[in-house]
Every structure is written in structure tokens, then in C-alpha cells.
Amino acid sequence: MFTTRPTLQGTFGMVSSTHWLASQSAMAVLEDGGNAYDAAVAAGFVLHVVEPHLNGPAGEVP
């Protein structure tokens, strides 16, 4: 299969989201000793603020 996207690998952790602020907050949680669930919740809260039309209490959270 041909793809133009690079394969990403990490030794500590990796996050992704639709907004850079959510990704930054999730990575900060991981760096401070949080687990993947803590990082996902942090990213979800940030996405609720920066993209309220896409995420919310009754919407989809990463």
C-alpha cells in the first residue's frame, strides 16, 4: 500500500486531537505523570471550550 503520511513512533507517549491546544494540554498531563485516561479527559475539556460546536456534554469526546 502506498501512503504519503509518515509512520510515527514514540517512546514516552503521543496524543492527537482536532485542535492544538487540546493536544498540548493532553501532553502536559502525560508529562506531569497522568495516565492516558487523564490526558483524554483533559483534551476533552479543552475541546469543549475551543470547539463547542463539535464537542460537549452530550457530544462525542475523544
Residue 38 domain flag: yes
Within 8 A by CB and 6+ apart from 45, the residues are: 25
* Domain assignment of residue 61, yes or no: no
Q: State pTM to two decimals.
A: 0.77
Please report the sign of the dihedral spanned by the C-alpha atoms of residue 52, residue 53, residue 56, residue 60: negative
pLDDT, residue 36, reads: 95
pLDDT for 58: 66
Number of structural domains in the chain: 1
Which structural domain range is residue 43 located in?
20-50
pLDDT tens, 16-38?
Answer: 999 999 999 999 999 999 999 99
In this predicted structure, the answer to whether residue 59 has a pLDDT above a threshold of 80 is no
- Residue 54 predicted with pLDDT over 60: yes
Cell 471550550 belongs to 49
